[in-house]
Amino acid sequence: MDLSEHSKRLRILIGEDDHLGSKPLYEAIVLKARDLGLAGATVTRGLMGFGASSRLHTAKILRLSTDQPVVIEITDTEERISRLLPFIEETLSGGLATIEDVQVIHYHGRHSD
């Protein structure tokens, strides 16, 4: 897949406890991105954060059951990112989604197709 030098990064910030049915929301988003043929997606668990509610989410030992922050990042062309946006708008009841301009300097898979 060829990414233009100037692409977009979709960043989605949600909680680890967010679900779509019985599936974690981060998993549903990554699988949808793959189904739509996007270049790739990465999910990262945050150590600490807060959102619109100002409720602190942390991984401290005494709070292991708290809803830790999760960041999903997807970088691709604007056209391909736009295919995923209706799904994001439909499934995100809370959280934050942003789109940023990025300059891709290297993108090659480990295995050729």
pLDDT tens-digit series, residues 59-77 = 665 555 567 899 999 999 9
Q: With contact defined as beta carbons under 8 Å apart, do 16 and 67 qualify?
A: yes
State the pLDDT at residue 45: 92
What does pTM read for this prediction? 0.85
Task: Give the domain 6-103 fold.
Answer: Alpha-Beta Plaits (3.30.70)
pLDDT at 85 over 80: yes
Domain boundaries, the chain: 6-103
State the pLDDT at residue 38: 96
Please, how many CA atoms are within 13 Å of residue 47, restricted to the half-sphere of its CB? Answer: 2
Average pLDDT of 32-54? 90
